Structure 1
Amino acid sequence: MDVFPQAFDLARAARRIEVFTGAGMSAESGLHTFRDAQTGLWSKVDPIAMASIDSWERDPEPMWAWYLWRAQRCRAVEPNAGHRAIAEWADVAEVSVTTQNIDDLHERGGSADVTHLHGSLFDFRCSHCSRPFNGEVGYPAEPIVRLTPPNCEFCGGLIRPGVVWFGEMLPQRAWRDAEGRMQSADLVVIVGTSGVVQPAASLPLIAREMGTPVLEISPQETELTRYADVSWRTTAAFGLPELVTGLQLDRG
C-alpha cells in the first residue's frame, strides 16, 4: 500500500515539526548501526569495555583510541539526502531535530536546531570537572589499541569523549529541550530508530499522548510503529527528499 499521500497530508498540515532520529539515519551515510548482528559496532567490541565510566577509570587509553577512531570514521562520510532534506524542510516550516546519534551529520547536512540526547563525539570535556575541552585531538586514520587522553588545563583531569555511557544520566538540558519540542510540535517524524533504547524511545509517546500526529519513516517495523499514525516503509535518504520536495512544490 502506498502511504505517501497520507504522510504528505500530515506534513502539509504541520507548521512545527520535531524530527526524532536514530542510527538508521546515519547508516545510509555508511556508518554502522550498533545492533546489526554482522556489522553493528557492538559486534566488534565489548560494549561495557568501551562505554562505561568504570572501564574509563580503570583504563582510559583503549576507550580514547576507539572513540577518536569512531569520530574519524564519522568525519570521513557525508550527510545523506535525508539529512539534507530535513535542513531544506526548515525553509518552509519550523523544524527541529532530536537525535540519538553522536555524529555531526545533521549539522553538516545543514540543520541548525539539533539536540543530541546521547552527546556528541566532538564535544570533549574533562572527566573530573566537566569543563569543555577545545584543544586539538588527533584522529587516527586506522584503529589503534591505545592512545593517551590529554589533560584538562584547569584541573589536570583526563579529557573524555562527550558521549553518554551506560549507567550515566542523559544530559538534562537536552532532555528538557526534547520534551518541550514533543509537547509543542504539530507533527513528530520518527526516522531510523529501532525504538528500543530507553528512555529516549519514550519521547515520541509524549506527542502521542497529546494527540499530536506521529509519522514513522522506517524500512522495517519497529517498537514505535504501533504508536505512529502513519508508518511509511521507506528509508530516510529516499522518503525524506520525496516528502520535502512535495512540500516545496506545494508551497510554491
Structure 2
Amino acid sequence: MSWVSKTLSSTLGRKLLMALTGLFLILFLVVHLAGNLQLLLPDGGEAFNKYAANMASNPLIKAVSIGNFAFILIHVIYSILLTKHNKKSRPIDYAVTKASTNSAWASRNMGILGTLLLIFILVHLKGFYYEVKFGTMPMASYDGVDFKDVYAIVSAAYSNIFYVAFYVLSMGFLAFHLSHGFASAFQTLGLNHVKYSPLIRKVGLVFSILVPALFALIPLVMFFQNQ
C-alpha cells in the first residue's frame, strides 16, 4: 500500500481531507454569495443574467465547478467514514457529564447538520442548476444579445413561501455547521496557536453568522418584492 493510500485510509488523513475540502467550500461560499447578491440589484436581473452567462462559458469556472462537486462528495464521504469510525471506537456512549453537556451543540451534531445541508444542496441543484442546464429556459435580451433569463427562474422560485422558508431554515443549519467547522478545519491543519486561535474562532463566528444571513436575505427580499 502506497503512502498516499495509507494516509487517506488513516483517521488523520481523513480529517485532513475533511479540513481541506471544507476550507475550499468555505471559499466557494464567498464567491457564490458575491454572485448571488447581484440578484438584489434594481436592474431587472441584467447583471445577474450576464454573470450567470459568464460563469457558464468560462472554462476555468467550469473546471472549478466540477472540482466543487467533487469536493462536496469527498467531504460527505469522509464525514460518514469518520462518524462510523468514531462510533466503532466508542460503541457505548459515555455517560453525560457536565463537560459534554456544555460542549458546543454544533460540534456534537455535525453529522445531522451535514445531512440536512446535503438535502438542501440536492434540492437547490435540481431547482436551479438542472433547470438552467437541461430545462426550457426563458430568454432576455440586452443590447441585442440574448441571455438565458436565469433571474426569472430564481425569482419564480423565491416567490414560493415554502421554498423561501426551506432556504432560510437551511441557512440556519449552515450557520451552525460553519460555527464549528471553520475553526475545526484550521485546528486539524495544525494552524492553532495560543496567540492566533482566539482570532480564528472570532473570524469563524462572524463568518458563520454573516454569510448564511446574507444568503438568507436574498430570497426574503425577492419574496417580498414579488408580493
> What TM-score bracket applies, with the shorter chain setting the length?
0.3 to 0.5
Q: Which has the higher strand share?
A: 1
- Taking structure 2 as the reference length, the TM-score comes to 0.34
Q: Which has the higher helix share?
A: 2
- Taking structure 1 as the reference length, the TM-score comes to 0.32
Flag the structure with larger Rg.
2
